[in-house]
Amino acid sequence: MNKLPFKVIAADMDGTFMRDDQTFDYKRFDRILDQIHENDAHFIVSSGRPYSRLRRDFAGFLDRIDMIADNGSLLIQDDNIISTHLLTHKTTVELLEFIQVHYPNSSVIVTGINSSYTTLDASPDFKQTMNFYYPNRVEVPDLIQAVSPHDNVTKITLSYQRDFSEELEQEFNKHHAEKIHCTSSGFGLLDIVPYSVNKGNALKYFLRYFNAQPSELIAFGDGMNDKEMLELADYSYAMANGEPALKKVAKHIAPSNNDDGVLEVLDGYLK
């Protein structure tokens, strides 16, 4: 019989599982994973990061964890993609045209399963951030010309000075048949994904896959792109460093990411 009150664990990365210096306690995580599997439970990394970055982050653990990448556009089990939600080429082009007209000061990256593109004139700070998350990105003169129907676009990310995610989603969806969903991933970045895509819906897929219920889900997050998965989980934790609005959604507060809050809470249950 399962000793833990949950079967599925979902943890965001930036500001949640990962410390600010982009590290985590590998030995402690390795030990906790062993204990989790002894309890027939599953650990899911649920992130806005692309699959290529997550594979680097969890090298050595890929056969012991599952992943939600690009805020729910890609679902991965045993290092294999099992579900994709993609923006069509037509909508990708329409979005880029819309962004150029309405948000010309934003730097943009288009993310595909196998390739990512930024413009040559993107801001230096944006490029520096993207160098970490998308080490294989390509700089191009024009995004619309660069993106092809074969790129399998999972999301588009913009920089912002103010969060205009709700505004962009509403205005674009008024005039286009294929709807999109916008969410702030924090850190001055906004993600655009297909309409029904979010971490909560991705977790519903995994719950069905594992024959588990939301009452058997524990989830950790720090930003509003984690809202849907915390609303889904019976055991919901916002990080101490998380956004105030998310703390109102969560049932519990975990120690900060720099204090290894996810591992601290899990150790508490395991002990």
Last residue of a domain, one of 175, 194, 213: 194
- Within a 10 A sphere around the Cβ of 225, how many other Cβ atoms? 29
- Within a 10 A sphere around the Cβ of 141, how many other Cβ atoms? 9
Q: CA separation (Å) from 181 to 54, 72, 208?
A: 22, 11, 23
Residue 160 sits in the same domain as residue 245: no
Last residue of a domain, one of 164, 194, 224: 194
* Structural domain harbouring 113: 89-194
Measured CA to CA, the distance from residue 92 to residue 238 in angstroms comes to 33
Please tell me the predicted confidence (pLDDT) of residue 3: 82
Q: CA separation (Å) from 15 to 52, 142, 179, 183, 226?
A: 19, 32, 29, 16, 11
In a domain, 1, yes or no: no
Residue 66 sits in the same domain as residue 126: no
Residue 80 sits in the same domain as residue 160: no
Would you give per-residue pLDDT tens digits along the chain (271 residues)?
358 999 999 999 999 999 999 999 999 999 999 999 999 999 999 999 999 999 999 999 999 999 999 999 999 999 999 999 999 999 999 999 999 999 999 999 999 998 899 999 999 999 999 999 998 899 999 999 999 999 999 999 999 988 899 999 999 999 999 999 998 876 789 999 999 999 999 999 999 999 999 999 999 999 999 999 999 999 999 999 999 999 999 999 999 999 999 999 999 999 8
Please tell me the predicted confidence (pLDDT) of residue 114: 83
CATH of the domain at 123: 3.30.1240.10
In a domain, 2, yes or no: no
CATH of the domain at 79: 3.40.50.1000
In a domain, 3, yes or no: no
Residue 214 sits in the same domain as residue 178: no
Please tell me the predicted confidence (pLDDT) of residue 91: 97
**All residues at 6 or more sequence positions from 101 whose CB lies less than 8 Å from its CB, including other chains:** none
Please report the beta strands in 120-247, taking only residues with DSSP state E, as ranges in sequence order.
138-140, 153-159, 180-186, 189-194, 217-221, 235-239
Q: How many CA atoms lie within 13 A of 210 on its CB side?
A: 22
Cα of 220 vs its chain's centroid, Å: 12
Number of structural domains in the chain? 2
Last residue of a domain, one of 166, 194, 222: 194
Closest CA to 54 of 38, 65, 39, 41: 65
Residue 97 sits in the same domain as residue 73: no
Measured CA to CA, the distance from residue 258 to residue 256 in angstroms comes to 5
